[in-house]
Structure 1
Amino acid sequence: MTDLYTFAILVFTAFFTIINPLGTMPIFMTMTSTLSKKRRKQTAKKATIVAFFTILAFAFSGQILFNFFGISVNSFRIVGGVIFFMMGWDMLQARLGSLKHTKDEGQIDAYVDDISITPLAIPMICGPGAITNAIILMEDSQNLTQKSVLIGVIAFVLLLTYLILVGASTITDKLGETGNKVMMRLMGLIVMVIAVEFFFSGLKPIILDIMHS
């Protein structure tokens, strides 16, 4: 039983650190700043649900999929870096979320669906680190009990992520329109820096492999 608790703490610490919901919160705030409170809650809910099932899918079949398609986690990092950079550039120009100002419910629904899947669920919440971690820990799980604990802890971390993102709505409302625009530009710079880190952390091992071969 002690080993099980130790395993649970290990899983929680690893996933909470990698997913980093507190780091995701400011970006979520800027992307949903002009949405209603209900829409923000809907976006957070969908993003965390999509992230949960994506992590589970890779946990159970990630290594097989990677081997089948001949892709690596490093390639995933490069793509994530490109997505982050494009998103950061739009945030820096304060162009993010132009559809949110329309009264057309269909367009608002499309925007919520769009950002809740990419980039919020993938690759922000469910990024290369979370996917790699899920694959490794699932392979390390020696029995059904440990696998169940792994799934339960992942669900708990994503529940915490959802609650933190929903809590960001209060901060967004207090900042006001000007505050949210300033926040968006600052976050844009940070996201672009993260994008560069993602891109080169994936590119470096690939270049080293090419040089060695």
Structure 2
Amino acid sequence: MSDFITFGILSFTSFFTLINPLGTMPIFMTMTAELNIQQRTKTAKKASVVAFITIVFFAFSGQLLFNFFNISVNGFRIVGGVIFFLMGMDMLQARLGKVKVKDSEVKSYVDDISITPLAIPMICGPGALTNAIVLMEDANSFEKKITLIITVFMVMLLTYIILYSSSKIINILGQTGINVMMRLMGLIVMVIAVEFFFAGLQPILLEMIN
């Protein structure tokens, strides 16, 4: 039971920090500035649903990708650890990789910005996809797999709520508050990165020694 709870907490924490909906808020507000409340709500909902489907798809198709490209899970953990660490470094410095949109191109994005760039790659980026594949490999029971899916759903629901309430949250936290939250999340991501890196490196080193 303890292992089951630990897996659930790890899944929720890692997905929430990697997706970082609080960091996405300012970009979401900027890109939906010309939309009314109903259109903004629809955009947030569609982006969250698309991101959820994409993450679940990659979680279940991860093993097929491994077999097709002859990639080991441990190698993927090492690469994932490096990706997470670099993302954590940027977050620790309150520096996000923003999607740049020229003023002249904003209106063309309004039609379907919920899919790209909001859902992919801002919400559902390389870090979240890597995390989904690795955690699904670690989910060695049916209960853990269900827990992983529920966890992703909960994070996406929170992401939708945060984006929907973005105007109020930004006014409450302010830019300083958002930067502080981003730094805390960055620290958590870096710790997860170290765990992933050495979890993948240890079996490879043992195999080389043997």
**Does the TM-score normalized on the shorter chain lie above 0.5?**
yes
Contact 1:15 1:157 (8 Å CA) reproduced = yes
Superposition pairs of residues 1-213 of structure 1, within 5 angstroms: 1-65=1-65, 68=68, 87-88=99-100, 90=101, 93-99=102-108, 111-112=110-111, 114-170=112-168
What does the per-residue CA deviation read over 1:84-132, in whole Å, with 9 as the maximum and x for residues that have no partner? 77x41x2xx43342258xxxxxxxxxx34x2111111111111100000
Question: 1:50 touches 1:117 (CA, 8 Å); kept in 2?
Answer: yes
Query: How many corresponding residue pairs?
Result: 151
The one-letter amino acid of 2:140's match is Q
How much has 1:171 moved relative to structure 2? 6.7
2:57 partner letter: A
Change (3 A) 1:95 1:151: same
1:25 and 1:164 in contact (8 A); partners too = yes
| TM-score (ref. length: structure 2) | 0.64
Counterpart code for 2:18: I
Report if the CA contact (8 A) 1:55-1:134 is conserved. yes
Q: Distance in 1 between matches of 2:70 and 2:106?
A: 35
Distance 2:169 2:104 in 1: 21
Q: Is the 8 A contact 1:31 1:96 kept in 2?
A: no
Q: CA RMSD in A?
A: 2.8
| 1:47-87 deviation digits (Å, cap 9, x = unpaired) | 0000000000000003423654789x88xx9xxxxxx77x4
Aligned pair in 2 of structure 1 residues 10, 163: CA closer, same or farther (>3 Å)? same
Distance 2:13 2:130 in 1: 15
Q: Secondary structure at the match of 2:34?
A: coil
Query: Shift of the alpha carbon at 1:29?
Result: 0.4
Residues 1:171 and 1:164: Cα distance change in structure 2 (over 3 Å): closer
2:22 and 2:69 map into 1 onto residues whose CA distance is: 34
Structure 1 residue identity aligned to 2:46 = K
The residue aligned with 1:108 is none
SS in 1 for 2:104: coil
Instruction: Read off the aligned partner of 1:163 and give its amino acid letter.
Output: I
Is residue 40–residue 169 contact of structure 1 (8 Å, CA) maintained in 2?
Answer: no
Runs of at least 5 residues in structure 1 that lack an aligned partner in the other structure? 78-83, 101-110, 175-182, 184-213
CA deviations on 1:138-181 (whole Å, 9 max, x unpaired) are: 00001000000010011001100000000014478x8xxxxxxx
Contact 1:37–1:169 (8 Å) recurs in 2? no
CA contact (8 A) 1:56 1:134 kept: yes
Partner Cα separation in structure 2 for residue 142 and residue 171 of structure 1: 38
Instruction: Provide Cα deviations, 1:20-64, integer angstroms capped at 9, x if missing partner.
Output: 000111100000011000000000000000000000000000342
